Amino acid sequence: MATVTWTTPVGLTVTQPYRKFSQRLVNTQLQSITVYDRNMPSPVNSQKQKTAFPPNFVHSLDASHMVLSAIECKIAGLVFASVHDSYWTHACDIDRMNEILRDQFVQLHELEIMENLKTELEQRYADHKMPTRTWEYASASALKIQKKGSKTGKAEKQLEEEQIIESSLADQHLQFCNDEDVQSEPLDSKTADAGTNVLEAENKSADDADAASSSANEHVVYIDLETVKLVDPKEDLAGALRQEDCIAYTLSVNIANQKKRRSAIFAEYKKISAIKKAKGKGKGKEAMPVSDEAAVMDTNDEAALLIQQLERERDAKLAEVKTSYVTEFKRKPIMVTQSRMLGTYKNVDSMTAETGVSGRFIPRLVWVDIEFDPLPKQGGFDIKEVRNSPYFFS
């Protein structure tokens, strides 16, 4: 974690010194003294950094105005002194100094101060990350696939473990920073339940789930996954969520159809097992005449050839079925944050209801690249009016 650092309009670099210094209480005969060792590496006091930045930034602008005014008064031959935002000169030069103060104030604030600050912070902290609470969308069909899916492989298990560790570290970071703004975000009851148990619908029958999905979500249709163009969630969140429902539904249908075709093929070639059993029975352990042994060998060879032919036909059909259906479709998960893509929706529950999606939003704590909110639109006040003000620096 880094301290907040910025550069003033006059080129002075400012760094906030707030850290959680280790302290030690030293008892003497007269009193108790608390000693802070500021030479030891200490964690940043993020709460103090956050609350102190706005006033400190304004103070740095005031100091920049004072420096610019002092330089201009020096050029104009005026005697100049100041303490913070109080400026002094000889009585005969007051009016002239006031003109200089107003003129330098206008020149300072005509600069793109906030734009320059945002650009500097984005460049300075480009390689930093921040923990944020997000919601990952999982459609009803995707949850159903996950429930009925095959065993998880080593790579998937490792990825899940890494995600759990990442979420735990982010949560600890938020608690350590005492980030009240983030921690005070209310979780809806549905979202909290989803986070506790992603597959809470496991006790419901598949038929009930299908009926509810088809009746409540008319937008869920089968689509062509080979030609589909993904909707950008940042441009159309509702459209991306509905498309995700369609993609997951299509995958579930393809998986079911593929499984049905595979079962039919295996049923069609059941005779392979029967031939193998009959071939095995022909291998007796007792001694038999040489002529009988030759007959058995010929029969076994024919059976082996027949088995090989049938297995090749079966495997060819299975391979065809495997390529006939799209059962995997790579796309980035749709992540929703409270401050960004949630937009005008009141909360996650209202977004689910208004967009009419079939799935649910699962809460996550993740580390993301640090981002800064867009600057608000500038007001209509003309700073140049300060030059003619009878009250400003008068």
The CA distance from 206 to 274, in Å, is 35
How many other CB atoms are found less than 10 A from the CB of residue 51?
12
The CA distance from 63 to 60, in Å, is 5
The CA distance from 61 to 48, in Å, is 20
Torsions phi, psi of 125, nearest 5?
-110, 30
Determine whether 85 is an active site residue.
yes
Active-site residue (options: 37, 62, 85, 208): 85
Torsions phi, psi of 89, nearest 5?
-160, 180
CA 59 to chain centre: 35
Give bridge partners of residue 367 from the DSSP assignment: 131
The CA distance from 247 to 164, in Å, is 26
How many other CB atoms are found less than 10 A from the CB of residue 234?
9
Residue 70, SS3? helix
The CA distance from 243 to 63, in Å, is 54
Measured at the CA of 173, the angle between CA 169 and CA 7, to 5 degrees, comes to 130
Q: Which sign, positive or negative, has the C-alpha torsion 6, 10, 12, 15?
A: negative
DSSP 8-class letter at 111: S
Bridge-based pairing of strands 129-138 and 86-88 is unpaired
**Catalytic site residues?**
85
